[in-house]
Amino acid sequence: MIPIAIVGGGGWGTALAITMARLERDVRLWVYEPYLVETMIATGENPIYLPSVRIPPSVRVSNSVEEVLAGVRIVILAVPSHVYRQVFSHILPLLNGDMWFVSATKGIENETLMRMSEVIADVARPRFVPCIAAISGPTFALEVARGEPTALVVASPDESLRLYLQRELSAPRFRLYTNPDLIGVEISAAVKNIIAIAAGVVEGLGLGSNPAAALITRGLAEMTRLVVACGGRRETLSGLAGLGDLVLTAYGSLSRNRRVGVALGQGKNIDDVLSSTRMVAEGVKTAKSTVALARKLDVEMPIAEKMYAVLYEGLKPQDAIDDLMERKLREE
């Protein structure tokens, strides 16, 4: 079977490595921190990002990109969005046009407003035209690593690529559906994290089920508007990468974005919240790029706007809720 390289040793990258290893194939995992590589090799666990889950001995963990990428055809990128361009630029000399690139990161680049697949294409273009797909859906890394039943999508406009990756990456209890809408899948994956922070704020403020349900529903409407404006398909939002991932991230107890929102609703300072964990809550950084993209495309996204104001402009969470409820009445 074709070797798989996974670039990024956080919780999600580690969970993907564990899952792919269940197929009894050659799996390599690149981890940035040398000390973490030593610990993972010695203990068979990722104590920082995915503790108490065993990593199969067949997974080759390394800090050497040369070792990880040698001879592979499938490269899965699972690093945070804010270092995505930096990491891909770092490994570019070892890549070629015969490889298939799979983005497993949910975000929009702040500086360029590019989706992650666009970042790959932008960096690679001077050397070759890359074949790119993205995987997304309702997935908590811990549950995937434990082998709990999971369904997600692999998206690419290239039908042969997405069908190939569906076959190669599907594993027991890890079911992949195909979707041609790369734009819709990537935008949904990024924006739902902002809505999840807002859902956490609702809980942190001690509000009930009514506002939570309203928030999720109207948040989905905002996601849909942005997806369509970017050229994606409205139908994608009713699937795993849209509604499925939104529900999981907004309601699931393992959601980092939701936990950030809960802390904000309880009156905690965002800097204190972020400094208390090494885990990345993508919605915090993506709030900047999403609002900028929405403004550029003249897309109305009041929830995203208010969360941006809470995160970066000092707006109090209760005031954000009040502002949303007092907006001009309109048709749904």
SS3 178: strand
Q: Provide the Cα torsion 38, 41, 45, 50; round to 10°.
A: 50
Q: Provide the Cα torsion 174, 279, 55, 171; round to 10°.
A: 10
SS3 154: strand
CA 44 and chain centroid, separation: 25
Determine the straight-line distance between the first and last CA of the chain, rounded to whole angstroms: 51
Active-site position among 106, 192, 285, 306: 192
Backbone φ and ψ for 134, nearest 5 degrees, come out as: -135, 145
Catalytic residue check, 192: yes
Q: Provide the Cα torsion 179, 184, 189, 193; round to 10°.
A: -150
The candidate with the shortest Cα–Cα distance to 236, out of 166, 194, 187, 196, is 187
CA 220, CA 247: separation in Å to the nearest integer?
10
Q: Are 321 and 205 in contact (CB under 8 A)?
A: yes
Q: Are 303 and 325 in contact (CB under 8 A)?
A: no
The candidate with the shortest Cα–Cα distance to 12, out of 133, 130, 174, is 174
Q: Which amino acids are annotated catalytic?
A: 192
